């Protein structure tokens, strides 16, 4: 028996071991620049430019016109000892926390209720989203009339003393009116998000939970809430962002009163622009921008990785 002679492998050409040819970067279509450049230019001219100019004037005594002098950090140091500014930050942050919790709880409850097989569910969803399309200032003026006239009249008729006078004139209760109106206006948007989240949850999970003997509350806690985590995060982030800049609702309801009890940071800044405190309120606006960025970063850090699970 003869041993087969091993066959030598074919010689490897230099072309076979040559590294692949690097493909050059694809050139962008010039049409991209046609749409991108004007948008960046407009953003720079109308947003970035005025913001930088305002930050510069925050270091001066500029009142909005005429001459000015450089003051350094005097405006910023005064802000931290100004009771009115501190009170506006306290009111704004407290209002944002209370309203976002109230609005999200009601919106989630309504979304869960409307997801059940009940009569007129579609019609009710349409009715509940009506506040979303009404201007905030219009809503505020309507509720101003209700809180000032209708509610006291009803309270007087039934003999309920605490509400016989308008809560808008009570420094301890006026903030409740702003919370109620702001929540009433923003609940529809959160309701739509939660409704979309509920429809994405497979019904098989609830059927399996029922077979295992889980009650409705247990299914909500163990199935619904975990699968809605991403949607709750979205609504919370959007809610906090909107409530920190609340302005039109306060103008229509209380005008910042009684006194300055319901004056938000945004309202304080805008009133200063027309009251000769341009540089001072620009310093306030700069601080408020930093606070908003810090809150956004904290929110992103806490909610990182909590994506919407379908």
pLDDT of residue 306: 56
pLDDT in tens, the chain (310 residues): 455 555 555 555 555 555 555 555 667 778 888 888 999 999 999 989 989 998 999 999 888 888 889 988 999 999 999 999 999 999 999 999 999 999 999 999 988 888 876 677 677 777 777 887 888 888 899 999 999 898 888 888 888 877 888 889 888 889 999 999 999 999 988 988 898 888 888 888 888 888 888 887 888 888 888 888 888 888 888 888 889 988 989 998 988 888 888 999 999 998 888 777 889 999 999 999 999 889 888 877 776 665 544 4
Half-sphere exposure at residue 86, Cβ-oriented, CA atoms within 13 angstroms: 7
- The answer to whether the beta carbons of residues 249 and 140 sit under 8 Å apart is yes
pLDDT of residue 301: 79
> Phi, psi (5° rounding) for residue 275?
-110, 15
- How far apart, in whole angstroms, are the C-alpha atoms of residue 154 and residue 17? 90
- The answer to whether the beta carbons of residues 50 and 226 sit under 8 Å apart is no
Half-sphere exposure at residue 185, Cβ-oriented, CA atoms within 13 angstroms: 23
pLDDT of residue 308: 46
What domains can you pick out in the chain, each with its CATH number? 83-273 (1.10.3720.10)
pLDDT of residue 76: 93
- How far apart, in whole angstroms, are the C-alpha atoms of residue 38 and residue 237? 30
For 19-24, the CB contacts below 8 A with 24+ separation are: none
């Amino acid at each position: 028996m003869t041993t087969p002679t091993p066959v030598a492998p074919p010689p490897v050409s230099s072309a076979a071991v040559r590294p692949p040819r690097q493909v050059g970067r694809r050139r962008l279509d010039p049409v991209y620049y046609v749409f991108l450049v004007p948008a960046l230019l407009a953003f720079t001219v109308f947003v970035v430019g005025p913001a930088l100019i305002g930050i510069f004037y925050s270091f001066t005594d500029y009142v909005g016109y005429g001459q000015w002098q450089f003051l350094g950090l005097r405006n910023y140091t005064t802000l931290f000892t100004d009771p009115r500014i501190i009170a506006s930050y306290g009111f704004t942050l407290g209002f944002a926390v209370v309203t976002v919790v109230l609005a999200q709880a009601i919106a989630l409850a309504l979304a869960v209720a409307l997801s059940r097989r009940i009569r007129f569910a579609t019609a009710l969803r349409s009715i509940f989203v009506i506040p979303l399309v009404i201007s905030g200032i219009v809503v505020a003026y309507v509720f101003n009339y209700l809180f000032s006239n209708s509610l006291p009249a009803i309270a007087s008729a039934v003999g309920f003393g605490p509400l016989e006078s308008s809560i808008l004139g009570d420094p301890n209760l006026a903030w409740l009116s702003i919370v109620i109106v702001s929540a009433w206006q923003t609940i529809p948007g959160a309701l739509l998000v939660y409704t979309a989240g509920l429809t994405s949850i497979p019904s098989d999970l609830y059927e399996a939970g029922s077979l295992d003997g889980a009650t409705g509350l247990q299914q909500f806690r163990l199935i619904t809430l975990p699968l809605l985590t991403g949607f709750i995060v979205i609504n919370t982030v959007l809610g906090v962002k909107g409530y920190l800049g609340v302005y039109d609702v306060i103008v229509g309801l209380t005008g910042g009163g009684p006194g300055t009890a319901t004056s938000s940071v945004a309202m304080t800044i805008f009133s200063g622009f027309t009251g000769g405190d341009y540089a001072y309120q620009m310093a306030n606006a700069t601080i408020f921008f930093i606070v908003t960025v810090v809150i956004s970063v904290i929110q992103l850090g806490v909610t990182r990785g909590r994506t919407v699970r379908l």
